[in-house]
Amino acid sequence: MSDTTEQGRRWHDMGGKDAGEIARGEHDFALWEKRVDALLHIAVAKGYFTVDGLRRALEDMGEDAFETMTYYERWIASITQNMVEAGAFTIEELNARMDEVAARGPTYGEAQGAGE
């Protein structure tokens, strides 16, 4: 017979659970979100990791991340983790680059190097 225990079930594997209200509104993607999406395709095409690795890191984040981070916030966190694991860059290099970007200014326009 079927297995009705929940032991080992992970938070994301929610098929069949009560879904509650479904948000049916349209969502216009921000430029940074499109860039995150593009980054995944580039990373996969270059062989750094696959969508399976993306999913692994997403699912490892746990339910809290699902409630507190947006879709592409979770994606960029997962992509970053996978890229570090793949050796694309070191954490030190990542931190140095993030400091560099932050130093450009607080707005997205400034951070992405507008006026360069």
Partner 1 sequence: MTVLPEVTSPPFPPPYPTRGARFAPGDTVRVRRGAAPGHMRTPWFLRGRTGRVERICGDFANPEELAYRRDGDPARAVYRVRFTMAEVWGEAAERAQDTIDAEIFEHWLEAADAP
Q: Which is nearer to partner 1, 52 or 99 (CB)?
A: 52
Distance CA 13, CA 55 (A): 12
Structure tokens at 43: 């990373």
Type of residue at 94: L
The Cα–Cα gap between 62 and 10 comes to 8
Q: From residue 77 to residue 116, what is the string marking binding to partner 1 with x (rule CB under 8 A)?
A: -----x--xx------------------------------
- List residues near partner 1 by CB under 8 A: 1-3, 8-9, 13, 15-16, 49-50, 52-53, 55-56, 59-60, 82, 85-86
